[in-house]
Amino acid sequence: MERKTLLGLSFFLFVLLAAQEAVVKIEGCEKKSSVGFGGLCIGPKLSYECNFICMYTDHLKGGYCKNEECMCSC
């Protein structure tokens, strides 16, 4: 009886570890916009423009102002 329990727990542990290894890590990526932004990127209006530039010029997911620069999300 103890042997079956030990075998069952070992199998469960193996499946649990295998499933944990299969988890995909999603890490963010950001790049400075390739288009010269023409000044400091500050405020919601310029952040909207930055987003537009990143999506339609750099063909990335979007963009936002960070440290007065236009940063694009990969």
Of 3.30.160.150, 3.30.30.10, 3.40.1410.10, 3.40.50.1970, the CATH number of 2-73 is 3.30.30.10
pLDDT attached to residue 72: 92
- Comparing CA positions, the residue from 35, 29, 28, 32 lying closest to residue 65 is 32
The whole model's pTM is what? 0.58
Residue corresponding to tokens 């570890």: 17
What is the rounded CA–CA span in Å between residue 19 and residue 13? 10
24 or 7: whose pLDDT is higher?
7
Q: What pLDDT digit, counting tens, does each position of 18-70 carry?
A: 666 555 455 578 898 888 767 788 888 889 999 999 999 999 999 999 998 99
Greatest Cα-to-Cα distance within the chain, rounded to the nearest angstrom: 75
Residue corresponding to tokens 């295998």: 18
On whether the CB atoms of residues 69 and 41 are closer than 8 A, the answer is yes
